[in-house]
Amino acid sequence: MKPAVIQVNDLSFSYNPVGNAAVHQVSFEILPQTVTAILGPNGAGKTTLLHLLLRLKTPLTGSIHLQGRPLNHYSRHELSQNIGLVPQTEYIPFEYTALEYVTLGRAPYLGPLEIPAEKDTEIARQSLKEVGVSHLENRPIPALSGGELQLVLLARSLCQQPRVLLLDEPTSHLDLANRNITLQIMDRLRRAGTTLVFSTHDPEAAALIADKLVLMRAGQVLETGSLEEVFTTETLSRTYGTRVEVLQVDGLRVVKSIERLGGEQNGQNNPAER
Least confidently predicted of 12-21, 97-106, 225-234:
12-21
Summary mean pLDDT of the chain: 90
> What average pLDDT does this structure show over 62-88?
95
197-229 as b/e: b if 16+ CB within 10 A: bbbbbebebbbbbbebbbbbbbbbbbbbeebee
pLDDT at position 266 is 46
> What average pLDDT does this structure show over 70-76?
95
Q: Which residue has the higher pLDDT, 181 or 213?
A: 213
CB 125 within 8 A of CB 101: no
What share of the chain has pLDDT > 70, as a percent?
94
CB 24 within 8 A of CB 6: no
pLDDT at position 255 is 86
Task: Reply yes or no on whether the pLDDT at 269 is more than 50.
Answer: no
Domains of the chain in sequence order = 6-230 (3.40.50.300)
CB 167 within 8 A of CB 135: no
Q: What pTM did the predictor assign?
A: 0.89
1 falls in which pLDDT band (50, 70, 90)? Answer: low
Angle at 83 between CA 235 and CA 224, to 5 degrees: 15
> What average pLDDT does this structure show over 63-85?
95
pLDDT at position 67 is 95
> How far is the CA of 188 from the CAs of 12, 77, 192, in angstroms?
33, 26, 6
CA distance 22 to 48: 7
Task: Reply yes or no on whether the pLDDT at 161 is more than 90.
Answer: yes
Task: Reply yes or no on whether the pLDDT at 87 is more than 60.
Answer: yes
CA distance 6 to 148: 30
Task: Reply yes or no on whether the pLDDT at 232 is more than 80.
Answer: yes
121-151 as b/e: b if 16+ CB within 10 A: bebbbebbebbebeebbeeebeebeebbbbb
- State phi, psi for 42 to the nearest 5 degrees: -60, 135
Q: How many residues make up the chain in this entry?
A: 274
273 falls in which pLDDT band (50, 70, 90)? Answer: very low
CA distance 163 to 8: 17
Model pLDDT for residues 246-258, shown as the tens digit of each residue: 998 877 888 887 7
pLDDT at position 260 is 53
Residue (of 228, 238, 197, 209) closest to 4 by Cα position = 197
146 falls in which pLDDT band (50, 70, 90)? Answer: confident
Helices (H), the chain: 46-53, 76-82, 98-103, 118-130, 146-159, 176-191, 203-209, 227-230, 233-240
